[in-house]
Chain A
């Protein structure tokens, strides 16, 4: 793990140095700096040669950062960010009823992410709406563009493992997403700090960090899905459309379909609690297949500490006897832990699918 982190650090150093110092000079500077590092793979070589995988990640990352697509995405997201902060700050100034009950002042900083004066959606809503778009935009032409340009067969005829190619695409995209999400999160925090002048408690800070992490995983899922489509479809436009279609499906239609199934399956005259409970569980399970729902639940549980349970089926006794107090960070995390695991599992599933598909494909140039 530490070796991996070391590699990552080096990679980032190389990327930034190259951007700062122009093409030629930057390369050699990076090489000089990484020279002394011990490398088991190329022991004996005076200079350090990165493994092909990291060379590919580095190149992909550079390509993304330079592309117009990324600049446009970044512009949209930054605008959304600034807009939502503005709306949140206005709302806070006007004294919107904050989080319920006694917690009013306790989580003022968190409400930066969740309140709005009604002119614009809040930060969380923006994020859950835009996140899939970032993922789809970064991955939809990952493989098919290389195939159509004829670079795929050239790269794969180098001593490179075929799976490394796919992994590099994913890792580079995920790295970029992590950088973007975290810097945006910190941007919102920083600007909030300046405008409302109220510092976050460590607990609030960790909650936000975890939300940012979950967002990264969530975007990673969409990135993977779009890479899958880019392996499956030869045309970049088809693959982009497929990605967007899935996004819209989960955004708009999935709830509706679950509702439909729910009405159809609803027990007509419920006899026992068990029956009602199993029905509620089934509907909850169906809803939670959707990654959008998983993300929404996880993020809002972390940002609203007074969410005590995600189970819609609460008995009267439970509701009545529960103490109305916010949960601690650890307890909130426990509550959303299954969600995080499910998100990662769905990501892994999609990745496995694209992996299998890609390994079986013929590598021909262009045709």
Chain B
């Protein structure tokens, strides 16, 4: 997404305190039109609180929230007309059918009954629940509920959708389908999507940009490359090299290449070690500033060792996540 696009969600120095506890600490963030933004952080980081403030369901202690140019704290009704929100662990009226639930939401948005039903059926078709339209929601599985939640969010034809932990508690296949659906919807309808998650891999798959959110603070924001460069000390490239035999000379040769920062020997997996014995390939992890894949391959073959594998390993969110989130899991959210 180009950064010149029109900003849709603007947070300025947002603070939310519960007594002494600061849930959100001077947060500033801009989400542009048409992008999928991932709010990434561990439990208790303040993601849900931030989302509630965007909708005007919670008042910020200080700072400003603007959604579609409207102040959420002052005019929550206007914001709620334009924003679809799916809470984490979305709930439905269990003894009503999926269709009834959607029609109810539509009618709360002043959509006339006839049109509400037409829209509801169309959306159920779209999220793949057409066959279950007249079944009670009580009988739905977790994945079906999340998809119904998505339909529920879309029925008012919003400009922005906010999904709080949309993938929580669904099986991997369900997650894949749901994310594909979200991406598809966002592209076709030009929707701005903000989703929160603590599953970094899922966020990585579909988000244009992510924000890392820890203990109420936004510590980094941007796409994966931006994040890597923003996080101090993080090398841009990493390689996993499997070769046998590996001599100390080879290691020092690799270390001598221009741009290489470090070479580490990865401890073999127990399983692999038991099978391979001495001749088993050794895995080396090479971190570097620039792309040195080709040079390393040449070096290994020139030294007479056999090359078993060479995988470029992007410095992933995983590592970033671990570095920043370790230890913060103990801070459970209040309320």
Chain A residues near B (Cβ < 8 Å): 23-24, 27-28, 30-31, 41-42, 45-52, 55-56, 59, 63, 66, 146, 149-161, 362-367
A366 in contact with B156 (CB, 8 Å): no
Q: Which residues of A contact B100 (CB under 8 A)?
A: 23
Extra contacts, 6 of them, besides A154-B90, A157-B55, A364-B335 (Cβ < 8 A), are A45-B112, A47-B112, A56-B108, A157-B85, A159-B77, A365-B164
A366 in contact with B113 (CB, 8 Å): no
Complex Cα distance A226/B244, Å?
A: 75
Looking at B77, B93, B111, the one whose CB has the most chain A CB atoms below 10 A away is B93
Q: Which residues of B contact A52 (CB under 8 A)?
A: 107-110
Name the one of B80, B92, B107, B152 contacting A55, with C-beta atoms under 8 angstroms. B107
Enumerate the 6 nearest inter-chain pairs by beta-carbon distance, A residue then B residue, closest first: A150-B91, A47-B112, A157-B85, A365-B87, A158-B108, A149-B91
B77 to chain A, nearest CB (A): 5
Looking at A23, A48, A55, A363, the one whose CB has the most chain B CB atoms below 10 A away is A55
Name the one of A42, A51, A55 contacting B104, with C-beta atoms under 8 angstroms. A55
Complex Cα distance A366/B90, Å?
A: 9
B113 in contact with A363 (CB, 8 Å): no
Number of interface residues of B (CB under 8 A): 43
Q: Which residues of A contact B93 (CB under 8 A)?
A: 63, 149, 151
A47 in contact with B109 (CB, 8 Å): no
B89 in contact with A366 (CB, 8 Å): yes
Kindly report which residue of chain A lies nearest to residue B78, judged by CB atoms.
A159
Q: Which residues of B contact A47 (CB under 8 A)?
A: 112-115
Residues of chain B from 84 to 130 with CB closer than 8 A to chain A in the complex: 84-95, 97, 99-100, 103-105, 107-115, 117
8 residue pairs of the A-B complex, CB under 8 angstroms, read: A49-B107, A59-B104, A150-B90, A154-B86, A154-B105, A157-B80, A159-B110, A366-B91
Q: Which residues of A contact B115 (CB under 8 A)?
A: 47
Name the one of B85, B92, B111, B335 contacting A367, with C-beta atoms under 8 angstroms. B335
Is B48 located at the chain interface by the 8 A CB criterion?
A: yes
Name the one of B80, B90, B114, B164 contacting A158, with C-beta atoms under 8 angstroms. B80
A160 in contact with B113 (CB, 8 Å): no
Residue-wise, chain B 110-154 has the 8 Å CB interface mask toward A (1 for contact) of: 111111010000000000000000000000000000000000100
Kindly report which residue of chain B lies nearest to residue A18, judged by CB atoms.
B113
A365 in contact with B88 (CB, 8 Å): yes
Complex Cα distance A152/B107, Å?
A: 16
Q: Which residues of A contact B85 (CB under 8 A)?
A: 153-154, 157
Is B266 located at the chain interface by the 8 A CB criterion?
A: no
B113 in contact with A153 (CB, 8 Å): no
B91 in contact with A154 (CB, 8 Å): yes
Main secondary structure of the interface of B (DSSP, over half): mixed
Q: Which residues of B contact A150 (CB under 8 A)?
A: 87, 89-91
Q: Which residues of B contact A45 (CB under 8 A)?
A: 112
B57 in contact with A27 (CB, 8 Å): no
Complex Cα distance A210/B335, Å?
A: 47
Is B220 located at the chain interface by the 8 A CB criterion?
A: no
Q: Which residues of B contact A155 (CB under 8 A)?
A: 108
Kindly report which residue of chain A lies nearest to residue B145, judged by CB atoms.
A150
Complex Cα distance A157/B84, Å?
A: 8
Complex Cα distance A45/B107, Å?
A: 14
Q: Which residues of A contact B57 (CB under 8 A)?
A: 153, 156-157, 363
A365 in contact with B117 (CB, 8 Å): no
A154 in contact with B103 (CB, 8 Å): no
Complex Cα distance A66/B117, Å?
A: 22
A158 in contact with B156 (CB, 8 Å): yes
Complex Cα distance A335/B87, Å?
A: 54
Complex Cα distance A367/B83, Å?
A: 23
A115 to chain B, nearest CB (A): 43
Q: Which residues of A contact B110 (CB under 8 A)?
A: 41-42, 49-52, 159
Complex Cα distance A50/B48, Å?
A: 32
Complex Cα distance A56/B107, Å?
A: 9
Kindly report which residue of chain A lies nearest to residue B162, judged by CB atoms.
A157
B94 to chain A, nearest CB (A): 7
Complex Cα distance A48/B90, Å?
A: 29
Name the one of A24, A55, A364 contacting B117, with C-beta atoms under 8 angstroms. A24
Name the one of B78, B80, B113 contacting A31, with C-beta atoms under 8 angstroms. B113
Complex Cα distance A149/B110, Å?
A: 24
Is B52 located at the chain interface by the 8 A CB criterion?
A: yes
Name the one of B95, B103, B109, B117 contacting A159, with C-beta atoms under 8 angstroms. B109
A30 in contact with B152 (CB, 8 Å): no
Kindly report which residue of chain A lies nearest to residue B149, judged by CB atoms.
A154
Residue-wise, chain B 51-75 has the 8 Å CB interface mask toward A (1 for contact) of: 0100101100000000000000000
B140 to chain A, nearest CB (A): 13
Is B81 located at the chain interface by the 8 A CB criterion?
A: yes
Complex Cα distance A362/B95, Å?
A: 26
A308 to chain B, nearest CB (A): 53
Q: Which residues of A contact B111 (CB under 8 A)?
A: 49
Complex Cα distance A59/B87, Å?
A: 21
Kindly report which residue of chain B lies nearest to residue A29, judged by CB atoms.
B113
A170 to chain B, nearest CB (A): 18
Residue-wise, chain B 194-208 has the 8 Å CB interface mask toward A (1 for contact) of: 000000000000000
Q: Which residues of B contact A31 (CB under 8 A)?
A: 112-114
Complex Cα distance A110/B312, Å?
A: 93
Complex Cα distance A23/B116, Å?
A: 13
